[in-house]
Structure 1
């Protein structure tokens, strides 16, 4: 199963639409995971036109998104449990807050956003994954999103690209 992972799209504030490199990847995806800061419900609707969408709300999302999506979510794909949260809050780093959200849950992967800083690493046996942002790179050199491939294991890849 091919999963496209995005976060912090901030549309239409940061860009008018999703970048071409991301749209190309969406052509062959089975599932889209968004880790919050969509900005508006229109992003959710557009992503739904490409594949099934799972996600959570972030700290700058509209009331429509907050009413539609939870603060945290666990989805099961091919027997693997994937925890999704945005990572916003007070104290600690974004990554530590995201991990703490699932401290009492058995998950194989934690997907988060908020910092706009791509992360792809293991903590013990848990994959810790932040796709960065495809539309608001902030202090990063390039825009980014992620791809998870799930078969008998989870394989994660960060996709970096320049502006369209």
Structure 2
């Protein structure tokens, strides 16, 4: 199987938090074969802009405009190579964001769960499930840096966080 380069994003919050995609992100998007976005694009224009680089699979978040909510599902499972990847934003009431995301796929067989909402980058294994949050490329909140993930699907799933200081 040929390696598959996937860019994993969440919480772009554009145009409120950035007028354009950050240069560090653009550098990776030009060679992407697939883009996964776990919601809070904010406007459908962000989805359309990302689609100029590669196919986009995504879900809507709690801060997305109605047009996106009508266009994208609340959760979805995509196949990349031999892997099943679950996407969900993770917003809701009760539990932590991560626990809500895990609960959303309680009845599904997936190899990797990707969620957003918290803007906190993390990658760990919980009860045998790999769980990933790419952080945000445009709205770092209390994090030291902006972030997104380059996910390479090979014989294994290779997760590389890309961190940077400036979104301009």
Partner of 1:22: 25
Deviation at 1:72, TM superposition (A): 0.2
Partner of 1:118: 121
Counterparts of 1:112-151 in structure 2 under 5 Å? 112-151=115-154
Partner of 1:49: 52
Counterparts of 1:15-164 in structure 2 under 5 Å? 15-163=18-166, 164=168
Separation in 1, partners of 2:70, 2:124: 32
1:39-63 deviations in Å (ceiling 9; x for gaps): 0000000000000100000001011
Match of 1:127, SS state, is: strand
Match of 1:117, SS state, is: coil
1:63-109 deviations in Å (ceiling 9; x for gaps): 11000000000001111000000000001100110011001100000
**Normalising to structure 2: TM-score of the pair?**
0.96
Structure 2, gaps ≥5 residues long: none
Structure 1, gaps ≥5 residues long: none
- What is the CA RMSD across the aligned residues, in angstroms? 0.7
Does structure 2 conserve the Cα–Cα contact (< 8 Å) formed by 1:120 and 1:158? no
Does structure 2 conserve the Cα–Cα contact (< 8 Å) formed by 1:120 and 1:157? no
Partner of 1:3: 6
Deviation at 1:120, TM superposition (A): 0.9
Separation in 2, partners of 1:92, 1:157: 28
Separation in 1, partners of 2:100, 2:129: 15
Match of 1:67, SS state, is: helix
**Normalising to structure 1: TM-score of the pair?**
0.98
Match of 1:114, SS state, is: coil
